[in-house]
A = this chain, B = another copy of it.
Amino acid sequence: MSPSLYQEVQHFYGRQMRHLDQGEHRAWAETFTEDGVFTANAHPEPQRGREEIEAASRKAGARLAEEGVRTRHWLGMLEVNERPDGSVEARTYALVLRTPKGGPTAVHLSTTCDDVLVRVGGRLQVKHRSVSRDDLQGS
């Protein structure tokens, strides 16, 4: 694994999470492949493809905007593994922080995030994401 790949993944996540937290729903969806899949132990069904991923983000964003809550997604403790086929396994811890207008900020969720990234037109995209919330143990 090259040092430049490691930081490229970090950079990618910085951009991706900013899209999510700023309600740039289309740009968020476009950080996934066309057929990207987003699964989570908190979701009854995976989100499949950019349309579903964008729609889910838009819905969640509208609810938070109504409540006047700002979210920040932090990813850290990155491990990267390059596969022979050129795809990239990227594992992170993810924290979701929420701040209502007037505060205070609170840690909303602690999760793990296991991605398979692929390169499309030179840029990384998420082909498969699996998010597991720490509070939903054994569920």
Contact = CB atoms under 8 A, between A and B. Distances in A.
Interface of A: 1, 3-4, 6-8, 10-11, 13-15, 17-18, 68, 70, 72-80, 91, 93, 95, 97, 99-110, 134-135, 137-138
Nearest to A15: B79
How many copies of the chain does the oligomer comprise?
3
B110 A97 contact: yes
Contacts of A3: 3-4, 7-8
A11 to B, nearest CB: 6
Contact of A135 (B77, B93, B102): B102
Contacts of A10: 6, 78
A111 B7 CA distance: 23
A106 B104 CA distance: 10
